[in-house]
Structure 1
Amino acid sequence: MKALTLSLLASGLGLASALATIPMAEAADKPTLTVYSYDSFNTEWGPGPAIKEGFEKICGCIVNYVSPGDATETFNRLRLEGASSKADILVGLDSNLVADADKSGLFTANSLKADALHLPIEWDTSTYVPFDWGYFAFVYDSDKLASAPESFEQLLDAPDDLKIVIEDPRSSTPGLGLLLWVKDVYGEKAGEVWEKLSPRILTVTKGWSEAYGMFLEGQADMVLSYTTSPAYHIAAENKTNYKAAAFSEGHYMQVELAAITKSSQNKDLANRFLAYLVGKEAQTIIPTTNWMYPVALPESEWPASFKDLAKPDKALLFDMQQVPSIRKQALEEWLQALSK
Structure 2
Amino acid sequence: MVKSTRLALAVLTGLIASPAFAQDLPKLTIYTYDGFAAEWGPGPGLKAGFEATCVCTVEWVAADSSIGTLRRVQLEGASTEADIIVGLDTAIAGEARATGLFADHGLDLSGLSLPEPWTDGQFVPFDYAHFAFVYDSDTVATPPKSFEELIALPEDFKIVVQDPRSATPGLGLVLWIAAAYGDRAPEIWAGLKPHILTVTREWSESYNLFLTGEADMALSYSTSPAYHIISEGDDTIHAAIFSEGHLAQTEVAGILRSSDQPELAKQFLAYLTSMDGQKLIPSTNWMFPVTDIGDALDPAFATLPQPAKTLTLTDEDIAANSQRWIDQMLAAVQ
> TM-score with structure 2 length normalisation?
0.92
2:259 aligns to what? 264
2:183 aligns to what? 188
2:138 aligns to what? 143
How far did 1:125 drift?
Answer: 3.9
How far did 1:217 drift?
Answer: 1.6
**Residue type matched to 2:20 in 1?**
A
- The reply on whether 1:119 has 2:117 as its aligned counterpart is no
Q: Look up the SS of the partner of 1:239 in the other structure.
A: coil
2:10 aligns to what? none
The CA distance in 1 between the partners of 2:267 and 2:203, in whole Å, is 30
Q: How does 1:39-54 map to 2 (within 5 A)?
A: 39-54=34-49
1:274 aligns to what? 269
The CA distance in 1 between the partners of 2:118 and 2:106, in whole Å, is 15
Q: Look up the SS of the partner of 1:322 in the other structure.
A: helix
Work out whether residues 123 and 253 of structure 2, in 8 Å CA contact, stay in contact via their aligned partners in 1.
yes
Which consecutive residues of structure 1, in runs of 5 or more, have no partner in the other structure? 1-21
How far did 1:111 drift?
Answer: 2.6
Deviations 1:48-86 (A, max 9, x none): 100001001111111001112111111111111111101
How far did 1:25 drift?
Answer: 2.5
How far did 1:300 drift?
Answer: 6.5
- The reply on whether 1:103 has 2:98 as its aligned counterpart is yes
Deviations 1:248-282 (A, max 9, x none): 11001111000100010001110110010000011
Work out whether residues 130 and 221 of structure 2, in 8 Å CA contact, stay in contact via their aligned partners in 1.
yes
Structure number, greater radius of gyration? 2
Work out whether residues 275 and 293 of structure 2, in 8 Å CA contact, stay in contact via their aligned partners in 1.
no
**Residue type matched to 1:282 in 2?**
G
Number of residue pairs matched by the alignment: 318
Q: Could you tell me the percent identity over the aligned residues?
A: 47
1:56 aligns to what? 51
1:318 aligns to what? 313
Q: How does 1:80-229 map to 2 (within 5 A)?
A: 80-229=75-224
**Residue type matched to 2:328 in 1?**
E
Moved more, 320-329 or 223-232: 320-329
Work out whether residues 157 and 195 of structure 2, in 8 Å CA contact, stay in contact via their aligned partners in 1.
yes
The CA distance in 2 between the partners of 1:327 and 1:319, in whole Å, is 11
The CA distance in 2 between the partners of 1:164 and 1:262, in whole Å, is 41
How far did 1:302 drift?
Answer: 2.8
The CA distance in 2 between the partners of 1:241 and 1:144, in whole Å, is 9
**Residue type matched to 1:235 in 2?**
I
Which consecutive residues of structure 2, in runs of 5 or more, have no partner in the other structure? 1-16
How far did 1:146 drift?
Answer: 1.2
1:16 aligns to what? none
Deviations 1:272-323 (A, max 9, x none): 1001000001101101100101001167653211011020000011012220
Deviations 1:181-212 (A, max 9, x none): 11111111111111110111111111111111
How far did 1:145 drift?
Answer: 1.1
Runs ≥4 residues deviating over 3 A: 298-301
**Residue type matched to 1:157 in 2?**
A
> TM-score with structure 1 length normalisation?
0.91
